[in-house]
Amino acid sequence: MKIYRRYLAREIAGGIALVLAAFLALFAFFDMINEVKSVGDASYQLVDALLFVTLRLPSRIYELMPVAVLIGTLYALASLARHSEIAVLRASGVSTKELLTILFQVAFAFALVTFVVGEFVMPFSERAAQQLRIRERGRTMGQGLRSGVWIKDDLSIINVRVVLPDNSLRDIFIHDFERGGRLRSITEAAEGEYVSPAVWRLKGVARTLIEDTRSQIIHLPEMEWNTALNPDILAVLMVSPERMSLTHLAAYTRHLSDNGQKTQRYDIAMWKKVLYPLAALVMVALALPFGYTHNRVSGVSLKIFSGVMIGVLFHMLNGLFSNLGAINGWSPFLSAVAPSVLFMLAASGMILWIERR
Going by C-alpha positions, the residue among 49, 96, 113, 122 that lies closest to residue 292 is 96
In the Cβ-directed half-sphere of 33, how many Cα atoms lie within 13 Å?
A: 5
Q: Mention every residue, 6+ apart, whose C-beta is less than 8 A from residue 163.
A: 140, 141, 142, 149, 169, 170, 234, 237
The pLDDT value recorded for residue 297 is 45
Q: What is the DSSP letter of 137?
A: T
Question: Is residue 239 classed as helix, strand or coil in its secondary structure?
Answer: coil
Task: State the amino acid at position 21 in one-letter form.
Answer: A
State the alpha helices, DSSP H only, in the chain: 3-36, 46-55, 57-82, 85-91, 96-116, 122-136, 231-234, 246-258, 264-275, 279-292, 299-328, 332-356
Mean of the per-residue pLDDT values for the chain?
86
Residue 144 has pLDDT above 50, yes or no: no
Task: State the amino acid at position 38 in one-letter form.
Answer: S
Residue 107 has pLDDT above 50, yes or no: yes
* Tens digits of residue pLDDT in 242-258: 788 888 788 778 877 87
The pLDDT value recorded for residue 237 is 60
Instruction: Tell me what the mean pLDDT of segment 256-266 comes to.
Output: 81
Instruction: Tell me the pLDDT band of 260, cut-offs 50, 70 and 90.
Output: confident
The pLDDT value recorded for residue 204 is 93
Tell me the domain boundaries of the chain: 3-137+264-356, 155-227
Going by C-alpha positions, the residue among 253, 306, 243, 317 that lies closest to residue 279 is 317
Instruction: Tell me the pLDDT band of 137, cut-offs 50, 70 and 90.
Output: low
